[in-house]
Structure 1
Amino acid sequence: MAQETPKDNAGFTLPAPASTPADASASAPVTPATTASVDAPATLDPASATDTSARDTLIGGAVLLVLFIAFFFAKNAYANGLVAKRLPPNKANASGWWLFIFLASLATAVVLAAVNAHKFLAPLFMGPLLLVGLVALVLTFTSSRN
């Protein structure tokens, strides 16, 4: 039997660590600056932060709800302003709803981009929202003509 030498072992081996924090503390005096520099990367790592996507989505939904209520009042004010300019109430109401849809689609796109820009700024999400907003904006002004 031949004895196995380290060169005969062709498996994967990890290199020995250059210095560990225990070795570094033994060779160098411990000061608050050296311990802070060792611990700082672990505390500032964004990957170690907790997942906040559910909280962000909830906050985004609450912001959208508040904006939709404000847009509803803006729709009514716009429709009443058009009626005051002698536009028939049914045309003014339709124009107000198109304004609401425009503002709602624009606000939805902005809130989705703020909640998760990496996921929701894709053309799959933003394309239809902005297209609906553009069509609603055009219909807002075309339906408010006499």
Structure 2
Amino acid sequence: MMQEKKDNAGFALPAPVETNPAAPAAPATDTAAPAATTAVEGQMPGLPAEAVNTGSRDTMIGGAVLLVLFIAFFFAKNAYANGLVGKRVPPAKANAAGWWMFIFMASLATAVVLAVVNSAKFVAPMFLGPLGAVALVALVLMILSGRK
């Protein structure tokens, strides 16, 4: 019989870990656990340390990207407010709408940059929930305060 050999087999699943059913169960006070699932202070349980810890280089790049985006959003805020004034919206309301737009875009940009910098840690409801709520509230207030 001729067997086919595959040069590119795709991904391979790891071999299953077999436990010996005849081995005695570990006592409840045993603190030994696999390194991949040990919860260390400042680390999420169940994830390896390299998936959760963000390097300082990644954090600095993310901060620089956010700074550049915030500067661009500030100019966009001014342009939006000036456009609203051109549409006969009172300047105070137009300025408020511009700031709400800035907060909306800044919260969305922060969520995206956090997700890119370390998705294992920051793509969680604990981080994205409040940022999404702030963005939604800012969007509604931007629309409401931008009316005549």
- For the superposition of Structure 1 and Structure 2, which TM-score range results when normalised by the shorter chain? 0.5 to 0.7
Larger helix fraction of residues: 1
Q: Select the structure of larger CA radius of gyration.
A: 1
Identical residues among aligned pairs (%) = 74
Deviation at 1:132, TM superposition (A): 0.2
Q: Which residue in 2 is equivalent to 1:139?
A: 141
Aligned length: 98
Q: Which residue in 1 is equivalent to 2:75?
A: 73
User: What is the RMSD of the two structures over their aligned residues, measured on CA atoms?
Assistant: 1.7
Q: Which TM-score applies when normalising by structure 2?
A: 0.64
Q: Which residue in 1 is equivalent to 2:108?
A: 106
Q: Which runs of 4+ in 1 moved over 3 A?
A: none
Mind listing any 5+ residue stretches in structure 2 that lack a counterpart? 1-48
Deviation at 1:93, TM superposition (A): 0.1
Q: How does 1:40-51 map to 2 (within 5 A)?
A: none
One-letter amino acid of the counterpart of residue 121, structure 2: K
Deviation at 1:52, TM superposition (A): 6.3
**Is 1:92 the equivalent of 2:94?**
yes
One-letter amino acid of the counterpart of residue 87, structure 1: V
Q: Which TM-score applies when normalising by structure 1?
A: 0.64
Mind listing any 5+ residue stretches in structure 1 that lack a counterpart? 1-46
- State the distance in 2 between where 1:75 and 1:53 align: 32
One-letter amino acid of the counterpart of residue 88, structure 1: P
